[in-house]
Structure 1
Amino acid sequence: MKVLIDNSNLFAGGGLQVSFSFLRDLRRLQLAWEWHIVQSVKCAENFDESTFPSNFTFYNLRKAEEISKRKRISSVKYLENNIQPDCIFTLFGPSYHKSKFPKIVGFALPYILYPDSPFFKQIGFKEKIYYKLLSILKTYSFKKYSDTLIFETEDAKTIFTNKANYTKDSFVVGNTLNEIFFAKEKFIELKITDSTSLNILFLTANYAHKNMQILPAVIKVLRNKKHLKDFKFLITLDKAELNFPISCDENIIYLGKVGLEKIPALYSNSDMVFIPTLLEVFSATYLEAMFMKKPIVASDLGFSREICGDAALFCNPTNAEAYANAIFEIFHNEKLRKELIGKGTENLKRFGTSMDRTNAYISIIKNIITKNENTK
C-alpha cells in the first residue's frame, strides 16, 4: 500500500507533537508500506527524518509555500499526482483542495463546534465576525475536500456531523499521552528554585481561549478571601507575554516555554493542575495530570467533562472565585485529593497509548482503501 501523509498545514502546538508521535510509531511497526510524508517548514525543522528506513520518503515544503496557501495547495497536488497514493491522510485539517485519491482528514477545530463558548463573550465584534467567517469556510472545506473525517471525541463527532449534515464516513480516535511519559530515561530534571507549600501548574500556550487572564483575579481571591499566602502558579509563559499586575509576581513563577523532556518533572514539582481553558476539542494536559497523579481544577464545559469524567473539580469557566474555592478545597482536603487522583487513574484507562492511536489510524486507512477498491 502507498499512503501520503499530508502534514503541510501543521505550524505549531499539539498537532506537531501528534504528527511526530505518529511517524515514530509507524517506524516501530515496520509495515511494508510506502509512506510519503509532506512536511511543513516547522515539521521539518523539529523532526529528524534521517533515522527512517527507505520506505519513508519526506517532502519538505519551502517557506514560500508555507506563507502562500495557493502555492502550498499547488505543491501538494503536484506530489499527489506524482505519487499516486492509495490514500491521503491529512492529520489535522481542513484540506483546501479536491484530490483524485481517497482522503482522510483529522478534525480539531473547537470554534466550529462550540459557538456558545464563554470565549466568544470575551472578544470584540470584529473578532466574532472573523471566527464566524472562518467557521463557515472551514466547515465548507471539511465537507467538500474530505472523504472521511476523524474526530478526537464523540462529542465533536456528534456536533459536527449533525451541524454540518456530514454524511460521509466518520470515526473517533482519541488523543493520548505523549510517549515521553513512558520513557523515564529521557526525562530532564527541572529545578523550581522558588517553590512553595502549594505549587499549582498552569501548563498553557499563549492563546486567548486558554483563559490566562483570569489568573490575577484567582490570585486575589486566594489571598484576600481564602487568606492563602504561600502558593505559586507555575505558568509556562514568559512574563512579557501576559502583562499581569506587578502584585501578581509574588504568586507566579514564569517558566517560559518548557521542553517536552522537562514536562514530567514539571508535573512532579506541582501539587495540582489548573486548566481553565474555554475552548478545546481535546487537550492532553488532562491525561498528563491524571497519569502524574495530580488533582485537576478545570473549566466546566462539555469537552472537559467528556475527557475527565468525575476526575476533576469543575468550575464556572469565567468565575475566578469558583476556581479559587476549588484550589483551596483540594489543598485543605486530603481525602478529596486522594479521591480525585484515584478517579483520574481509573479514568485514564479509557485512553490508549500513542501506538493504540496509530493502530486505529492504520485500521481506518485500510478500511478506506478497501472501500475505494471495491467501488472501482
Structure 2
Amino acid sequence: MTKRFLINASNLHVGGGVQVASSFLSEIAKSEARRTNLSFALSSEVESAVGGAAMLSNVSDDVVSLNVNGIDPWNVEALNFFAQFDCIFTVFGPLYRWNPPFKSIVGFAQPWIIYPRNEVYRTMPFLKRLRNRLKFWIQSQFFKRADCLVVELEHVKDGLVRELGVDPARIHVVHNCLSAIYRDETQWMDVAVPPSDGKLRLGFVGRNYAHKNTKIFPEIVSKLRECHDIEALFYVTFTEEEWQASSPAFQEACVNIGPLAPAQCPAFYRALDAVVFPSLLECFSATPLETMAMERPLFASDRPFNRDVCGKHATYFDPGSPTDAAHAIAAAFKDGAPNATAMRAAREHAFSFSTPEDRAQRYLALLSSDLDETQQDI
C-alpha cells in the first residue's frame, strides 16, 4: 500500500511560523512533479499568505483548509483527517496528539522550554509565571512524544537534550534563512523614516514583548550621551497599543514607525546607521540575518541564538547592561563609518547561511526516505 504523507500547517496563525510555512510551501509549489501521496493542511492565515490553496494545485490534489487552535480534543474533523496518514510533518508544534497512529515529525521553536531558568520569568507576577511554567511543561510533554524534532539552530538541539532528555539522534537541525525578498530588490517597498536631526539612527524590528528587552533603549541613549558624547535615537516597529503603553522616557528616546510588511523591512534597515537586538530569549530570529544582509552594523545580546547565526559578524553585549551596550556602539562608531569590508563579509555570511530552497529540500527529506526520489527535486 502506498504511504501517505502530510505537511501540516493547520496550527499556525501568527508571526514567524506563518512566514516559514508560506516560504516552504512556495518552494514546493515551484516543483513540476506531482506528488500523489503528499497532502497539505493549511490554516486560514497560511493559506492567505501563499495566495490560496490553488498555489499548490500543480503539486497535489489534496490541499485542505483546516484550523487547529491549541489543545482541541473536540476538533473531530482534524483528528479524523490526521488519522489517514502514515507520516505527518507539523512545521511548528506542538502537535497535541499523545499516541499518534502515524510517524510524527514536529518543528520546535519554543525557547521558554529550553531556557526554563531565564531572567524574564523573574520580572513576571507570581501567578503569570506559574501559568506560563505550566503551559510550557504541558507543551514539552507533547514535544517529547514526537518521533523526530526539527530545530533551526544548534543551541536549540543542545537545549532539548539538556532540558527534555531527547535523544540527539531524534533531533535534526535545519537552518532558517533569509526571506527571498532580500534577494529581489524589485519586491521592496518604501517606508517613511523621519529624520534624526543628526543623531545616530539605531533601529529594532519586532514586537514589544518582554523577552525582547527593548526596555533598555532609553538607558542606552542616556549612556551614549553621558559617557560617549553621542546623541542617538531609536526607531522601533511597535503596534499603536504597544507604543501608547510605553513610558514617557521610552517615547522620548524612540520614534515608532509602526508594524512593517516584510517587503518594507529592507528599506527600513537601509535608513538606519545600525541595528540593536537586545533579546533575552529566542530559538531563532530573522533580524540578525536581515541586518547583515543589508550591510548594517549589528549589536546583539551575547546569547547562543545570536552567536549561532552571526558568528564573528556581530558585536555582542551583555543584554542586562545598557552601559555595556552603549560602550559597544560607541566603540564601533568612534572612527566614523563602519568598515565596508566587514559589512560585505557579513552580507555574504547572511546569504550563505541557508536558502529557502535548501530548507525546503531538507524538510522534504525528513518526511520519509521512501518518498519517490524522482519527485524530490523542487
Q: TM-score, normalised by structure 1?
A: 0.88
Question: C-alpha distance in 1, partners of 2:93/2:186?
Answer: 34
Q: CA deviation at 1:271?
A: 1.3
Aligned to 1:374: none
2:62 match: 57
- C-alpha distance in structure 1 between counterparts of 2:369 and 2:335, whole Å: 50
Structure-to-structure mapping, 1:53-92, within 5 angstroms: 53-54=57-58, 55-61=60-66, 66=69, 69-72=72-75, 74-81=76-83, 84-92=84-92
* Deviation sequence 1:236-288 (CA, Å, 0-9, x none): 11454143343444542201110111111111111111100000011111111
The structure 1 residue matched to 2:273, chosen from 262, 271, 274, is 271
The separation in 1 between residues aligned to 2:278 and 2:45, in whole angstroms, is 28
CA contact (8 A) 1:118 1:318 kept: no
Question: What is the SS of the residue equivalent to 1:71?
Answer: coil
Q: Which residue of 1 aligns with 2:235?
A: 234
2:54 aligned with 1:40: no
State the match for 1:152 in structure 2: 152
Pick closer, same or farther for the CA change 1:335–1:199 going to 2, 3 Å.
closer
Structure 1 residue runs without a partner (length 5+): 371-376
Deviations 1:327-376 (A, max 9, x none): 22223234754465245235336512111100111121233769xxxxxx
Report if aligned partners of 2:70, 2:96 keep a CA contact under 8 Å in 1. Answer: no
Partner deviation per Cα, 1:59-107 (whole Å, 9 max, x = no partner): 2235xx53772234x33221123xx334211000111113222111001
Shift of 1:296: 0.6
Counterpart contact for 1:216–1:245, Cα < 8 Å: no
State the match for 2:163 in structure 1.
Answer: 163
Matching residue of 1:305 = 307
Which letter maps to 1:270?
L
Q: Residues 37 and 59 of structure 1 are in contact (CA less than 8 Å); yes or no, is this contact kept in structure 2?
A: yes
CA RMSD of the aligned region, Å? 2.4
Percent identical: 29
The TM-score with structure 2 as length reference comes to 0.88
Q: Is the 1:39–1:60 Cα contact (8 Å) retained in structure 2?
A: yes
- Distance, in Å, in 1 between the alignment partners of 2:103 and 2:32 is 23
Match of residue 218 from structure 1: 220
1:11-43 deviation digits (Å, cap 9, x = unpaired):
211111000000000001233214422222332
SS in 2 for 1:309: helix
> Deviation string for 1:44-68 (max 9, x for gaps)?
3443123332515332235xx5377
d(CA) in 2 for partners of 1:350, 1:121 = 38
Q: Deviations over 1:151-202 (max 9, x none)?
A: 1112211221243222362211011001111121111122323344422110
Deviates most, 176-185 or 212-221 = 212-221
SS of 2:62 mapped into structure 1: strand
Structure 1 runs of 4+ aligned residues shifted over 6 Å read none
AA matched with 2:42: Q
Q: Would the alpha carbon gap of residues 324 and 340 (structure 1) be closer, same or farther in structure 2, given more than 3 Å must change?
A: farther
Equivalent-residue separation in structure 2 for 1:29 and 1:190 (angstroms) = 34
* Amino acid across the alignment from 1:150: V
1:208 corresponds in structure 2 to: 210
Note if contact 2:234-2:253 (Cα within 8 Å) is conserved in structure 1: yes
- Cα distance in 2 for residues equivalent to 1:332 and 1:239: 35
- Give the Cα–Cα distance (whole angstroms) in 2 for the partners of residues 345 and 285 of structure 1: 13
Instruction: Number of aligned residue pairs: give it.
Output: 363
Q: How does 1:123-134 map to 2 (within 5 A)?
A: 123-134=124-135
Please identify which structure carries the higher helix content. Answer: 1
Q: Which amino acid aligns with 1:14?
A: G
> Which of 24, 27, 34 is equivalent to 1:22?
24
